[in-house]
Structure 1
Amino acid sequence: MTTSRYRWVILGIATFTQAAAAFFVQGIGAMSVHLQRDLELNTTRLGLLLSAAQLLPLAGLLVAGRLLDRYGERWIVGTGALVVALALAAGRAAPGYVSLLVVLLIVGAGYSTIQPGGSKSVASWFDASQRGLAMGIRQAGLPLGGVLAAVALPALATACGWRSTLMAGALVALSGAVAFMAFYRHPPDQRPVPTTSRVSLELLRESYMKKIILSGASMVSVHGGVGVLTVLYLHEVTSMDSASVALVYVAVQCAGALGRILLATWSDHHRSGRYACVLTCLTAVVVGMTMLTTPIGRSTIAACLLFIWLGFFGIGWYGPWVAYAAESAPPDRTGSALGLAMAVNQVAVILAPPMLGLLTDMTNSFAPAWALLAALTAATLTTTARL
C-alpha cells in the first residue's frame, strides 16, 4: 500500500485505539445513576471517580511526550493501551469504591500515552492541508468511545452489575492495544530524534503555549462538567427517566464527535487560523452554560438541546485545539509540546469533576456549577483573544 493511502490506515487505528482506551472512563458519566445507587455515592465522590483516571497523567503525559519523541509511537501507545486493559481486568475483583479508585489510577497511567501518542502519529502522517480534518477524526475517538459506552455500559450494569463493565472495558482496550501495535508504522521519511531536558520549560514561555494551556484548561473543565453532571441534571431537574437520559447522553457524545471533525475541518480553511475556531467554541460554551442557569434550562426540551449544543462545542473544541498545538510546536518536539500542554491541562481535568460535584452538593443546585464554568470560559476567551 502506498504511503498516501496508508496514512488513512494510521488514522483509523489511532482513532480506534483512542476510543477503545477511553471506553470505560467515558462511560462513568452514563453509569452515574447506577454507581450512585450501588456504591452509595454523592456527587462529589462520583466526580472523584472521573478525576482518579486523570491523576497520574499529570506527570505521565510529560514522560510520555519525551518517550514518543525518542522512541516513536508504536510500542509506547500500544503498551499504554495494554496497561489500561490489564488494570480494568484486575479491577473486576474490586470490592468497592476505594478499590475502584485505585483501578482508575492505574488506568490513567496507561492512558497517558494514548492522547499525545495518537495526536503525534496523525500530525506525523498528514500535512497542514488535511491535518485539521485528520486530527478532528482522530480526536472524535474520545466521544465515540463515550457514545458506545453510554449505549452498552448502563445496560450491562443493569443486567450483570457494575463490575461486569470493567471486564467489558478491558476487552475493548485490549483490542485497541493489539490493533495499534500490529498496524502502526512510523512515516518512512521521519525518524524519532533525541530530546533535551529543558525544552518543556522553554515552551512555557511561548505565547502560543499560553493560549493552548489557558484555553485547554478552561474547556476540559467544561468537558468534565458535562460528563459528570449531564445525566444527573436531566434526571433530577427535568425528571427524565434513566433510559431517556441515557439516550440524550448518547446524543451529546455524538454531537461532540461530530464537532471534533467539523470544527477541525473548518480550521483547515479558516482565514484567521485554527485558534479562531477555538475562540468560537469558547463563545458558544459561554452562551450555553449561561442559558442553563436560567429558567429556560429547566425545560426538558431546551435542556436537551443545550446539552447537545455544549456537546458539539464543549467537546468538539479539541479537534482544532490539538491541531493548533501540534502545528505551533517545533517539528522535532511535537510529542513534548503535546505532552506538556495536556499535562498542564490535567490539573483542570483532575479538579473540575469533584469541585463541580462538591459545589452542587453544597448548594443543592446545579446553577452555581454552570455559572462558574461560564465565568471561567468567558475570562479565558477575553484573555487569549488578546495574546
Structure 2
Amino acid sequence: MPGMGRPNRWAMLSLGVAAQGAGCVFMYGLPFLLPALEAEHGLTLAEAGVIVGAPSAGMLFTLIAWGWAADRYGERIAMTSGLALATVFLGSAAFATHPAVLALLLGLAGAAGASANAASGRVVLGWFPKERRGVAMGWRQTAQPLGVALAGVIAPPALHLGGVRGALLAMTAICLVTTCCVGLMVVDPPRPETSAGTRSASPYTEPALWRVHAASMLLVVPQFATAAFALTYLVAERHWAAATASQVIAAAQLAGAGGRLLCGRWSDLAGSRVGPMRRLALVNAAVMLVLAMAVQAGNAAGSALLVAALVISMSGNGLAFTAVSELAGPAWAGRAMGAQNTGQNLIAAGTPPVLGALITHAGFGTAFALAGALALAASVATPGVPMIRRPVVRRPVSPD
C-alpha cells in the first residue's frame, strides 16, 4: 500500500508492466476482432480497420500530456486515473451500436490508456539503480507482446460467448482489475529534493536527447518492415504455408522479447545505453542489407535472414527508452518518454503503407535495403555521450 515503507522494486516493475500490458490488450489486440466487426456491423475491411486503429490514433494525442501529469503529480495518480478512464470508455464501447460511436469510444480509451506508457517508465527509472535499470526496462518493454498474446488467448472464447461485445467486456474487466491493483499497490519512487521557487531546466536544450529520439524513429522502419511484411514475403515469395509462417513469426516475436532483456543486461554491464544501441543499429543495418541482397537474388537464405532481422530489429527497443529516461532526468522523464512514444508511433503508422507501395513497384529487396540504410543512419544519429547525466541546472521562477 502507498505510504507503508519502501516497496519491493520488482513488485513495482510488475505492476508497471501489468498497467502497460492492460492497455496493450485493447490497443494492439483489437485486430483479433476484425472478422467479427465486419460480420456484426456490416463493415468493409477498411472500415473495420479504422475501428481497430482508433485506440492507437487516440494515444498519439495524449502521450506527452500524460507524461507531464506523471512528472507533475506522480506515477500512481497518472496510471490509475488513465486506466480508470480507459475502463469507462472501453466498457461503453462494448454497448455502442453505431460504428462511428464505437470508433470514437475506442479512440478515447486509447487516449486514456496511454497514461501507462510514460508513467510505468518512470516507475522503472525511480525504483531501480542505474546498474540494474537496463534489464528492468527490458522487462517493461515486454508489456506489448505479452498484452497482445493475452488478447489472442481471451478473444476467441469471448467472441464465441458474446461476440464483439463479449470480447470488449473481457478487455474492460482486465483494465478494471489492473486499475484497482495499480491504485492500491503502486508506490511512487522518491524524487530529488527541489527548492521552492525553482524548476528543472529542460533537457532539450542539449542535442543528445534529440539524437536518441531521431535514432529511435529511424530504427522503427526496419522493425516494421520485417514485422508487417514477413508473413507476406514467406507465403507469396517463398511459398510457405500460412500456418507455418505464422508460427515462425510468433516464435520470432518471443525471441525479440527475450532479446530486449539481453540488450538491457548488456547495457547494464557496459554502463551505457547509447553504446550498445549504436552497435545494435549497425548489426541491424548489416543484416537488413544482406537480407535485401538475398531477396533480390531469390536466394533461399532470405527466409532465415528475414527471421533474424525481425528478432534483431525488436531487441534494442528498451535501450532507447532507458537512454531517454536517463538523459531527461527525473523531472522530465515522463514527458520525454511520451515524446519518444509519439515519434515512434507516428513512424510505425506510416511505415507499412509507404513500404507497401515501394514493394508493389520495386519489390521486397528494395524495401529491405531502404530499411537497412535507415538503420545505418540511426547508428550515426545515436549520440556518443556518456550516460552519466550532468547535474541539473535550476533557474529561479519569476514571481509573475
TM range (shorter): 0.7 to 0.9
Higher RCO (Cα < 8 Å, 6 or more apart): 1
Does 2:79 correspond to 1:81?
Answer: no
Q: Residue 349 of structure 2 aligns with which residue?
A: 350
Among residues 357, 373, 392, which one is paired with 1:375 in the alignment? 373
Deviations 1:79-127 (A, max 9, x none): 2223333433333456687666434422330232111100001111111
The alpha-carbon distance between structure 1 residues 364 and 160, as it changes in their structure 2 partners (threshold 3 A), is farther
Among residues 65, 68, 72, which one is paired with 1:66 in the alignment? 68
Give, in whole Å, the separation in 1 of the partners of 2:212 and 2:14: 26
**Aligned 8 A contact 1:21 1:176 in 2:** no
- 1:1-387 correspondence runs (5 A): 6-27=8-29, 40-41=44-45, 46=49, 52-93=54-95, 101-150=103-152, 153=155, 164-187=166-189, 202-270=202-270, 273-296=272-295, 303=303, 305-360=304-359, 362-363=360-361, 365-384=363-382
Give, in whole Å, the separation in 2 of the partners of 1:233 and 1:180: 42
**Aligned 8 A contact 1:13 1:184 in 2:** yes
The alpha-carbon distance between structure 1 residues 289 and 242, as it changes in their structure 2 partners (threshold 3 A), is same
Structure exhibiting the larger radius of gyration computed from Cα positions = 2
**Aligned 8 A contact 2:91 2:172 in 1:** yes
The alpha-carbon distance between structure 1 residues 258 and 227, as it changes in their structure 2 partners (threshold 3 A), is same
Deviations 1:123-145 (A, max 9, x none): 11111111111111111112222
Give, in whole Å, the separation in 1 of the partners of 2:160 and 2:233: 20
The alpha-carbon distance between structure 1 residues 85 and 12, as it changes in their structure 2 partners (threshold 3 A), is same
SS, match of residue 205 in structure 2:
coil
Give, in whole Å, the separation in 2 of the partners of 1:7 and 1:159: 39
Give, in whole Å, the separation in 2 of the partners of 1:366 and 1:166: 36
1:164 to partner: Cα distance: 4.8
Structure 1: gaps spanning 5 or more residues: none
The alpha-carbon distance between structure 1 residues 185 and 239, as it changes in their structure 2 partners (threshold 3 A), is same
Give, in whole Å, the separation in 1 of the partners of 2:54 and 2:80: 22
1:368 to partner: Cα distance: 4.5
SS, match of residue 363 in structure 1:
helix
C-alpha RMSD over aligned residues? 3.9
Give, in whole Å, the separation in 1 of the partners of 2:313 and 2:18: 22
**Aligned 8 A contact 2:70 2:334 in 1:** yes
1:245 to partner: Cα distance: 3.8
**Aligned 8 A contact 1:82 1:174 in 2:** yes
SS, match of residue 45 in structure 2:
coil
TM-score (norm 1): 0.80
The alpha-carbon distance between structure 1 residues 237 and 277, as it changes in their structure 2 partners (threshold 3 A), is same
Q: Please, which moves more after superposition, 341-350 or 56-65?
A: 341-350
1:18 to partner: Cα distance: 1.6
The alpha-carbon distance between structure 1 residues 237 and 195, as it changes in their structure 2 partners (threshold 3 A), is farther
Deviations 1:250-284 (A, max 9, x none): 2132122212211011100116x211121233223
The alpha-carbon distance between structure 1 residues 386 and 263, as it changes in their structure 2 partners (threshold 3 A), is closer
| Aligned AA (2:45) | L
Give, in whole Å, the separation in 2 of the partners of 1:192 and 1:239: 62
Structure 2: gaps spanning 5 or more residues: 386-400
The alpha-carbon distance between structure 1 residues 328 and 148, as it changes in their structure 2 partners (threshold 3 A), is same
Give, in whole Å, the separation in 1 of the partners of 2:332 and 2:287: 36
TM-score (norm 2): 0.78
Deviations 1:178-208 (A, max 9, x none): 2211210123566899999996xx4333221
**Aligned 8 A contact 1:92 1:166 in 2:** yes
1:236 to partner: Cα distance: 3.6
The alpha-carbon distance between structure 1 residues 377 and 95, as it changes in their structure 2 partners (threshold 3 A), is farther
SS, match of residue 123 in structure 2:
helix
Deviations 1:19-43 (A, max 9, x none): 221123333567778889995436x
**Aligned 8 A contact 2:219 2:378 in 1:** no
Q: Percent identity?
A: 25
Give, in whole Å, the separation in 2 of the partners of 1:73 and 1:179: 13
**Aligned 8 A contact 1:51 1:353 in 2:** no
Q: Residue 393 of structure 2 aligns with which residue?
A: none
Give, in whole Å, the separation in 2 of the partners of 1:155 and 1:131: 38
Give, in whole Å, the separation in 2 of the partners of 1:366 and 1:343: 28
Q: Please, which moves more after superposition, 75-84 or 306-315?
A: 306-315
| Aligned AA (1:211) | R
SS, match of residue 331 in structure 1:
coil
